[in-house]
Structure 1
Amino acid sequence: LESTRPLREPQLPEDVHWDDVMMIMRQQITHLVNHLGELVVNKLNGVLIATDSGDFIKQFVAIRQNLQG
């Protein structure tokens, strides 16, 4: 969702802030996972990467950038 910010944020009403929307989405996703035991994502393309602690992919990105030159 964060990657869609430039596209979606301007469409929000003036009194709705992006960070508040993201907080509610995180809460809703957490409730779904707790209730169902999984989060089913339907997509045409792209990838979903999530973590509770953050910053887990930093080393992967650095290695990938070095390989690509």
Structure 2
Amino acid sequence: MPENSRKAMLEVLRLTDAQQQQLAALALQPGPDRRALSEILTPEQQEIVRLHHRLVRAWQAVQRNDG
């Protein structure tokens, strides 16, 4: 994820200090662990992440079709 996109996502999620620390520790782990992520983020934050991923995929599809 580009740096500016990542920063914007973090602002929108409004992560607590504890969540930020947990996510930083999770980032050091090998491989994605969606279950651990769901234990860190609130249901609302998880929905924001899901919507963001859908928008990114849709945008990428548009870019491929236009290019």
TM-score surpassing 0.5? no
Larger radius of gyration: 1
Using structure 1 for the length normalisation, give the TM-score: 0.35
Using structure 2 for the length normalisation, give the TM-score: 0.36
Whichever structure has more helix as a proportion of its residues is 2
